[in-house]
Amino acid sequence: MPAYTESQLHWKSVAHKLAEEVVRPAAKKYDELQEYPWEVKEALAKAGLMGVWIPKEYGGQGAGVLELCVIIEELSRACGGIGVAYAVNALGSFPVLLGGTEEQKKKWLPEIASGRKLIAFGLSEKMAGSDAGSMRTHGKLEGDHYVINGEKKWCTNGGAADLFSVFCVTDPESKAKRISALLVEKGTPGFKIGKAEDKMGIRCVPVNELIFENCRVPATNLLGGKPGFGFKHAMQTLDHARPGVAAQAVGLAAGALELAQVYAQRRHQFGAPISSHQGIGFMLADMAMRVEASRLMVLEAGRLVDTHAPNATKMAAMCKAFATDVAMEVTTNAVQIFGGYGFMKDYPIEKYMRDAKITQIYEGTNQVQRMVIARNLVKETSELDYLSKWIPTEVQKGGVMPPEPAK
Ligand code: CAA
């Protein structure tokens, strides 16, 4: 087990208890019903989990992204859907926390920290997924209100949330300051929750379209009070939230591995437990190594984000891509180890595999994470200039072909 601090161990044990007593028994029911697990959310709020990442002055527990990740892992070990139903409140609230004015923080964060209000994040659109900056939903300032028109897509928690961090174009002419974030309350005239998606996994969390038709939002809901900082706030939010997706993936992978371990120990074939057959033993060993490596990456990413380290963006993207690819591989192998039983809905193992798939897609596909990592590697290369003398001389100069000598 990694070296957890006292605070991390505390939250880990609170979440573990809830995961085993409340989450695991409810997982199948909400997966089948495709309904939000309100009773579970109440239990999480009662245990103080809904505001772990929110500072004490705004009603939270004052812990950080690292503690949040430890909790998400524990919940996701029992149910990946409930893991994200919880984690997505952090995603929705990070824009307020990172970019909101003091007044906005005081108004909204205590509501979220107590669990009285759920929050969601509205960034993606039908035609603007990975290329988030190409969004079309726009917000026009008219007097003391912004009038929002457009649609958002794949808003996790959409059908359950009371509040939405909505990103929209407020200055179409600008390149750098095109986008702003507005807080929109459920029930605002002109704001409708659209289509609820029928999903492969994480079925207990509603994922919806958000529809804005001349939706008037007070200008005081403009995050940070100044337009044009929306894209930056969205990117900073994702840096803070991606370790949480990775933690969800670690939880799914660890939960599937535990079930596979128990199955492989009890299941006898050829006169022995299948775990004693090298083919299965090596599979379990590889799964365990990858789970542990992912967990350590998540903890390091959480630490870097909490300390505002300069390489936090890269590490958040790295742990997200690595841990979620591992989760897909490990949960698929866990189904393989369960054999015919694994494929059947009678047992929870197939759900781990279904829940894992989205972790490779949302909060930036793993291809986008690799873009972020690669771009950061290019930026960091200037620190390695002292190594230039060890590469071929012609490449040192930039590798540009010299002009052909005149004939
Ligand atoms: N922190 C702060 N600022 C950042 C930043 C960061 N991590 N990353 C970029 N920026 C800034 C840049 O510095 C730049 O600012 P300047 O103009 O002042 O120089 C500006 O933002 C534009 O940056 P890029 O040129 O790098 O932007 P880009 O258009 O090339 O896009 C991208 C970069 C990484 C691909 C980005 O679009 C991205 O992350 N895409 C994926 C979006 C995503 O994750 N969507 C998921 C939404 S949530 C979800 O899944 C649903 C849900 O509910 C769970």
Confirm whether 304 is domain-assigned: yes
- The answer on 371 and 236 residing in a single domain is yes
Q: Is 344 helix (H, G, I), strand (E, B) or coil?
A: coil
Residue 326's pLDDT is 99
- Does residue 135 line the site of ligand 1, with CB under 6 A? no
Identify the CA nearest to 209 among candidates 192, 234, 190, 232.
192
Which domain CATH number covers 306?
Answer: 1.20.140.10
- The answer on 160 and 173 residing in a single domain is yes
Confirm whether 130 is domain-assigned: yes
- The answer on 144 and 125 residing in a single domain is yes
Confirm whether 181 is domain-assigned: yes
- Measured CA to CA, the distance from residue 268 to residue 220 in angstroms comes to 65
- Measured CA to CA, the distance from residue 279 to residue 288 in angstroms comes to 15
- For residue 154, the ligand 1 atom closest to its alpha carbon is 51
- The answer on 79 and 149 residing in a single domain is no
Residue 399's pLDDT is 66
The catalytic position among 21, 209, 363, 394 is 363
Confirm whether 273 is domain-assigned: yes
- The answer on 241 and 351 residing in a single domain is yes
Last residue of a domain, one of 207, 227, 247: 227
Residue 164's pLDDT is 98
Residue 324's pLDDT is 99
Last residue of a domain, one of 227, 244, 264: 227
- Measured CA to CA, the distance from residue 72 to residue 54 in angstroms comes to 15
Residue 401's pLDDT is 75
- The answer on 255 and 219 residing in a single domain is no
Q: The tokens 């007044």 sit on which residue?
A: 103
| H or E element, residue 6 | helix 6-18
Mutate to test the pocket of ligand 1, among 126, 235, 362 (most ligand atoms within 8 A of CB): 235
- The answer on 162 and 54 residing in a single domain is no
Residue 363 among the catalytic residues: yes
- The answer on 141 and 127 residing in a single domain is yes
Residue 398's pLDDT is 77
Q: How far, in Å, is the centroid of ligand 1 from the Cα of 175?
A: 14
Domain assignment of residue 364, given as a range? 232-381
Q: How far, in Å, is the centroid of ligand 1 from the Cα of 221?
A: 22
- The answer on 264 and 180 residing in a single domain is no
| CA-based torsion, 202, 316, 247, 112: positive or negative | negative
- Does residue 205 line the site of ligand 1, with CB under 6 A? no
Walking along the chain (407 residues) 10 residues at a time, the average pLDDT comes out as: 90 98 98 98 98 98 97 98 98 98 98 98 98 97 98 98 98 96 98 98 98 98 98 98 98 98 98 98 98 98 97 98 98 98 98 98 98 97 93 82 82
Confirm whether 355 is domain-assigned: yes
- For residue 375, the ligand 1 atom closest to its alpha carbon is 26
- For residue 361, the ligand 1 atom closest to its alpha carbon is 50
- Does residue 235 line the site of ligand 1, with CB under 6 A? yes
Last residue of a domain, one of 97, 117, 137: 117
Structure tokens at 362: 């949302």
- Measured CA to CA, the distance from residue 103 to residue 153 in angstroms comes to 29
- Measured CA to CA, the distance from residue 118 to residue 193 in angstroms comes to 14
- The answer on 216 and 153 residing in a single domain is yes
- For residue 364, the ligand 1 atom closest to its alpha carbon is 44
- Measured CA to CA, the distance from residue 269 to residue 262 in angstroms comes to 15
Confirm whether 402 is domain-assigned: no
Q: The tokens 């008219």 sit on which residue?
A: 142
- The answer on 314 and 180 residing in a single domain is no
- The answer on 74 and 146 residing in a single domain is no
Please tell me the total count of domains within the chain. 3
- Measured CA to CA, the distance from residue 231 to residue 176 in angstroms comes to 9
Which domain CATH number covers 112?
Answer: 1.10.540.10
Q: What contacts 332, CB < 8 A, 6 or more positions away?
A: 353
Residue 407 burial (CB < 10 Å; 0-12/13-18/19+)? Answer: exposed
Confirm whether 145 is domain-assigned: yes
Confirm whether 392 is domain-assigned: no
- Does residue 374 line the site of ligand 1, with CB under 6 A? no
Which domain CATH number covers 147?
Answer: 2.40.110.10
Residue 397's pLDDT is 77
Beta bridge partners of 167: 181
Q: Is 170 helix (H, G, I), strand (E, B) or coil?
A: coil
Beta bridge partners of 149: 138
